[in-house]
Amino acid sequence: MGTKKNNIFEKTIEAPAKILESSFETSHKIANKVPRNSKINPYKRARDYWYTLGPGLTTGASDDDPSGIATYSQTGAQYGLGLLWMAAFTFPLMAVVQEMCARIGLVTGRGLAGNIRKHFGKKVLYGSTILLFAANTFNIGADIGSMAKAVQLLAPRINFSLLTIGFSIFILLLQILTPYVKYAKYLKWLALILFVYIASAILAHPDWNMIVRHGIIPHITMSRDQILLICAILGTTITPYLFFWQTSQEIDEEIAAGATTIAKRAGSDKVQMKSMRVDVWSGMFISNLVMFFIIAACGSILFTHGITNITTAAQAAEALRPFAGNATYLLFAIGIIGTGLLAIPVMAGASAYAVSETIGKRQGLNSKLKQASAFYGIIIFSMLIGLGLNFIGLDPIKALIYSAVGNGIVAPVILVLILLIARNEKVMGEWKNGKLSASLGWILTLLMTVSGVAVIYTLFIN
């Protein structure tokens, strides 16, 4: 019996390895066009794969921000391993829509907001952009506070206000003063901080057989609280800022390579598309893998010890310490700081891209402050408001609720527009949506619509 269980576990953990191995081979063939049967040095193959990764990796990694970590921690603490299957369920939905956004950027040479403005007009975009900005700003405020709390877990004497101000200034300087090529590299390496959550879960010694079982088999009780938490998972995993950031980063990558006009950027080829897909699917896989391990750690440890009410990522780290040890506690706390440094610039940047394209102003991290004053002004404004939320007594949980409501309204609308653009043959040509992508996209739109309505109904009507 023990051997059979071990075989199940081995097959399960082999799956991610096979996916990444396939990605290694694909990325190497893209870069070097080597014959299928030729032998490849493992180090060179890994290096080629790493160079293939870019916007997709940073987009996926930014999705696991401190607010997301808090949601996943609460999921495990409140329902144990019961909702662990959500990690595998959301992965293909998340990857498909992010691939659409990347494809739109590569083919049209424009960001997502620019495409919506061109094909649907300004009025359609204005309301969504305002709500996106508001939701991102509330999320930024909550994440800045979470980072400060995480530092206080490691050094309790450091003043909370000084920490929030320090993080805000550091992130702003990084975005404004750092050339895009260096900035993109920093974000890419910073994405590796996510692996501390995998390490922390392993060090906590959970029951792997139970994790495998619950990770595959869905379990829903249909209670009000569980449905609300499922909606929260969908809302924090598939958020509108990822759509705008993914598309705009594909554009910035091309600008950095010398394609400074829309005419030069428009159009794509098979090699570029394959490289993009390796990048996007790898990024989303890592994002959901981390989600899986956070739920697994909190579900195996906190839930079983009766700790079911977790409201912040810092609280999750503190609660894990007595049962999982100092190593898990330290890794969890460090992860909160690292993911905040990655996610906050992405959220502020996504708002800036969306607003700038909506009002027709120059945008992009490739531009200097004087060249794109409106773009950087939006980043600064968003960061300052987010910072200010930590000084007016706004509870971080309320900030996340407001953010969830904004995302619940915006996400379905933006998804519909993405799907309409991605299926338009006149716009996308040979790279328009296939039947599978379109079907998954519409399923996701329906789920996000139901999720948004459920959150609003539960919070304000019921």
If asked whether residues 283 and 355 sit together in one domain, one would say yes
The pLDDT of residue 405 is above 60: yes
Q: What is the pLDDT of residue 242?
A: 92
If asked whether residues 102 and 191 sit together in one domain, one would say yes
Q: Report which of 15, 310, 434, 341 is spatially closest to residue 147, judged by C-alpha positions.
A: 341
Q: What is the tens place of the pLDDT at every residue in 411-446?
A: 888 999 999 999 999 988 888 998 999 999 999 999
> Bigger pLDDT: 76 or 311?
76
If asked whether residues 186 and 74 sit together in one domain, one would say yes
If asked whether residues 309 and 411 sit together in one domain, one would say yes
**Number of domains composing the chain:** 2
The pLDDT of residue 199 is above 70: yes
If asked whether residues 158 and 17 sit together in one domain, one would say no
Residue 269 binned pLDDT confidence (cut-offs 50, 70, 90): confident
Q: What is the tens place of the pLDDT at every residue in 84-118?
A: 999 999 999 999 999 999 999 999 988 899 899 88
Q: Are 252 and 115 in contact (CB under 8 A)?
A: no
Task: State the chain's mean pLDDT as an integer.
Answer: 83
Q: 71 to each of 9, 88, 312, 449, how far by Cα in Å?
A: 26, 16, 8, 20
Of the listed ranges 282-291, 306-315, 450-459, the least confidently predicted one is 450-459
Mean pLDDT of the region 2-25: 44
Q: What is the tens place of the pLDDT at every residue in 309-360?
A: 887 778 888 888 887 778 888 888 888 888 899 899 999 999 999 998 888 8
Residue 203 binned pLDDT confidence (cut-offs 50, 70, 90): confident
If asked whether residues 13 and 119 sit together in one domain, one would say no
> Bigger pLDDT: 212 or 314?
212
Alpha-carbon gap, residue 112 to 346, rounded angstroms: 15
How many residues does the structure list for the chain?
A: 462
Q: Report which of 287, 276, 284 is spatially closest to residue 52, judged by C-alpha positions.
A: 276
Q: What is the pLDDT of residue 283?
A: 93
What proportion of the chain, given as a percentage, has pLDDT over 70?
A: 90
Q: What is the pLDDT of residue 7?
A: 47
Q: What is the pLDDT of residue 227?
A: 78
CA count, 13 A, side-chain hemisphere, 53: 28
> Bigger pLDDT: 262 or 72?
72
If asked whether residues 27 and 153 sit together in one domain, one would say no
- Domain end (from 11, 28, 52): 52
Residue 14 binned pLDDT confidence (cut-offs 50, 70, 90): very low
The pLDDT of residue 366 is above 50: yes
Most confident of 226-240, 288-302, 317-331, 356-370: 288-302
The pLDDT of residue 16 is above 80: no
If asked whether residues 128 and 68 sit together in one domain, one would say yes
Kindly report the three-state secondary structure assignment for every residue of the chain.
Answer: CHHHHHHHHHHHHHHHHHHHHHHHHHHHHHHHCCCCCCCCCHHHHHHHHHHHCCHHHHHHHHCCCHHHHHHHHHHHHHHCCCCCCHHHHHHHHHHHHHHHHHHHHHHHCCCHHHHHHHHHCHHHHHHHHHHHHHHHHHHHHHHHHHHHHHHHHHCCCCCHHHHHHHHHHHHHHHHHHCCHHHHHHHHHHHHHHHHHHHHHHHHCCCCHHHHHHHHHCCCCCCCHHHHHHHHHHHHHHCCHHHHHHHHHHHHHHHHHCCCCCHHHHCCCCHHHHHHHHHHHHHHHHHHHHHHHHHHHHHHHHCHHHCCCCCCCHHHHHHHHHHHHCHHHHHHHHHHHHHHHHHHHHHHHHHHHHHHHHHHCCCCCCCCCCCCCHHHHHHHHHHHHHHHHCCCCCCCHHHHHHHHHHHHHHHHHHHHHHHHHHHHCHHHHHHHCCCHHHHHHHHHHHHHHHHHHHHHHHHHHHC
Query: Cα 355–359–361 angle (5° rounding)?
Result: 90
What proportion of the chain, given as a percentage, has pLDDT over 90?
A: 27
The pLDDT of residue 382 is above 90: yes
**204 φ, ψ (degrees, to nearest 5):** -80, -10
Q: Are 362 and 111 in contact (CB under 8 A)?
A: no
> Bigger pLDDT: 219 or 57?
57
Other CB atoms within a 10 A radius of the CB of residue 118 amount to 13
* Domain around 377: 56-461
Q: What is the pLDDT of residue 26?
A: 46
Angle between helices 224-237 and 435-456 in degrees, nearest 10: 130
Alpha-carbon gap, residue 22 to 440, rounded angstroms: 23
Residue 278 binned pLDDT confidence (cut-offs 50, 70, 90): very high
If asked whether residues 39 and 79 sit together in one domain, one would say no
What does pTM read for this prediction?
0.84
Q: What is the CATH number of the domain that holds 74?
A: 1.20.1740.10
Of the listed ranges 2-6, 257-261, 400-404, the least confidently predicted one is 2-6
If asked whether residues 305 and 379 sit together in one domain, one would say yes
Q: What is the pLDDT of residue 33?
A: 46
Q: Are 294 and 81 in contact (CB under 8 A)?
A: no
If asked whether residues 314 and 206 sit together in one domain, one would say yes
Q: What is the pLDDT of residue 70?
A: 86
If asked whether residues 5 and 128 sit together in one domain, one would say no
Q: What is the tens place of the pLDDT at every residue in 162-193?
A: 999 999 999 999 888 888 778 888 888 888 88
